[in-house]
Chains A and B, each alone.
Chain A
Amino acid sequence: DQQVKQNSPSLSVQEGRISILNCDYTNSMFDYFLWYKKYPAEGPTFLISISSIKDKNEDGRFTVFLNKSAKHLSLHIVPSQPGDSAVYFCAASDTSNSGYALNFGKGTSLLVTP
């Protein structure tokens, strides 16, 4: 049962514009959320995270928004650059569980065109 869902398999955005990647989750015990970026033949690389006590976290061009009542989070990339083209995974964790194993979505493939 997929507890973290990324309903858009792919997204194409023009360079300089905003990229918005969405993620929904079903488990109300999730209290820590992360975005990972993945290039082909490489492991996922941590991008940005947010705790459930916050509704926004910003790091440079990347901002994550969390709407707990809707069980929804989004990643905004502004401005988008061609080097941002990759697969982005949303992940969630229940930190009351030992180990903090991550539950991942299926990923969204972002293509930023010049």
Chain B
Amino acid sequence: GAGVSQSPRYKVAKRGQDVALRCDPISGHVSLFWYQQALGQGPEFLTYFQNEAQLDKSGLPSDRFFAERPEGSVSTLKIQRTQQEDSAVYLCASSLSRVGSYNEQFFGPGTRLTVL
């Protein structure tokens, strides 16, 4: 596909369930980012991958959040034992960026997670 895709687009989970959110970046994009956007807020950085290496996970709110990108392409954000405060839109973005240069980030449509 031409852009970043995310699945599922909507996810409803009962509190305590585990969820897995998928991101397919633009082919050839080295960098991949996850952001969390709560209602009425701007996106907040969660974690960053360069190829398969997770170089920054400082934004992950707790150890219940885990992200991986094992082959340097598709990425999965996993949330264990979901809580109501995890309800948000989870955005994935990719870019060509390598260290020393800046390229814009292209965002997917997001996954809206609702925890009941």
Q: Which residues of A contact B (CB under 8 A)?
A: 4, 6, 32, 34, 36, 41-46, 49, 89, 91, 93, 95, 97-107
Contacts and interface: CB of A to CB of B under 8 A. Distances in A.
A106 B105 CA distance: 18
Interface residues on B, range: 20 to 34
Interface of B: 4, 31, 33, 35, 40-45, 48, 50, 55-56, 59, 91, 93, 95, 97, 99, 102, 104-110
Contacts of A36: 107
B77 to A, nearest CB: 15
Given A99-B56, A105-B42, 19 more contacts: A6-B42, A34-B104, A36-B107, A41-B109, A42-B109, A43-B109, A43-B110, A46-B104, A46-B105, A98-B50, A100-B95, A101-B48, A101-B56, A102-B33, A102-B43, A103-B45, A104-B43, A106-B40, A106-B42
